Amino acid sequence: MLVFARQSQRVPAIIAFIGSRGESKTAACFQTGDSEQLAGSENVTANAFWTILLHMPLMSKKKQPFIIDEDLGPALKPYLPADSRTTVECGVRKGTPDYPFILDLCQRKEAMLVTADIEFPKHIKRYQREHNECCWGLMLLPGDEAKQVDVLRRLKEGKIKLKHPNDPNFRFDYARHDNLFVNLRADPPQVTDLCDCEWEDQK
């Protein structure tokens, strides 16, 4: 399925971030896959590269397609990526059934869904089985609006640490492409894989 192909899209984002810090040689080495030059250069070390990578913001300000479910209020927008839009802003009528229409929308927009509806993890698993394709991730928030704002604010301030299930460095830039379930309702917050790919069953 598509998750491996999506993960390759991490590379331009990392390169752009490194380049923005003036580390053009590091960016060039990473882009070409020249790990020996990256590790052996007098000016660029592997440790420096990983230091840069670890300082990438957990949730960057750049535009990313996030869809905000209609059960959430507008107060959340400042804490989400710049391109976050509500389902209504995307042209979906209020009261439209969640399944399959909201997930159809997320697939068209290649967007992570942000919701407080605890039924969506099951909806996504069902959708993936029936359509034989990966979705674009899910962020599940607490039911109370004040708690929603609080957890997103603490996340943005770096006071909440999230762990990628298959990678030591979690970033929301990656979570959408990797089809992850970011459960901010859980205490502590948890990140798990939503993918139901056939190759995973063969591991």
Domain boundaries, the chain: 3-54, 66-201
Contacts of 194 (CB under 8 A, 6+ apart): 121, 124, 125, 128, 134, 135, 137, 138, 179, 180, 181
For the stretch 115-154, pLDDT in tens is 999 999 999 999 999 999 999 999 999 999 999 999 999 9
In the beta sheet, which residues pair with residue 114? 68, 139
**What are the structure tokens assigned to 41, written together?**
């250069």
For the stretch 145-187, pLDDT in tens is 999 999 999 998 889 888 888 877 788 778 898 999 999 999 9
- pTM to 2 decimals? 0.72
Residues 142, 100: Cα–Cα separation, whole Å:
23
Residues 167, 33: Cα–Cα separation, whole Å:
19
Residue 172: burial class (beta carbons within 10 Å; 0-12, 13-18, 19+): buried
For the stretch 63-116, pLDDT in tens is 679 999 998 988 999 999 888 999 999 999 999 999 999 999 999 999 999 999
- Average pLDDT (57-66) is 67
Residue-level pLDDT at 170:
81
Residues 138, 133: Cα–Cα separation, whole Å:
15
User: Which of 66-102 are b and which e, b meaning 16 or more Cβ less than 10 Å from the residue's Cβ?
Assistant: bbbbbebeeebbebbbeebbbbeebebeeeeebeeeb
Residues 57, 171: Cα–Cα separation, whole Å:
7
Residues 95, 75: Cα–Cα separation, whole Å:
20
Q: Can you tell me which residue has the tokens 């967007």?
A: 111
- N- to C-terminal Cα separation, the chain: 15
Residue-level pLDDT at 171:
80
Residues 62, 111: Cα–Cα separation, whole Å:
14
Identity of residue 151: V
3-class state of residue 93 by DSSP? coil
Residues 175 and 193 sit within 8 Å (Cβ to Cβ): no
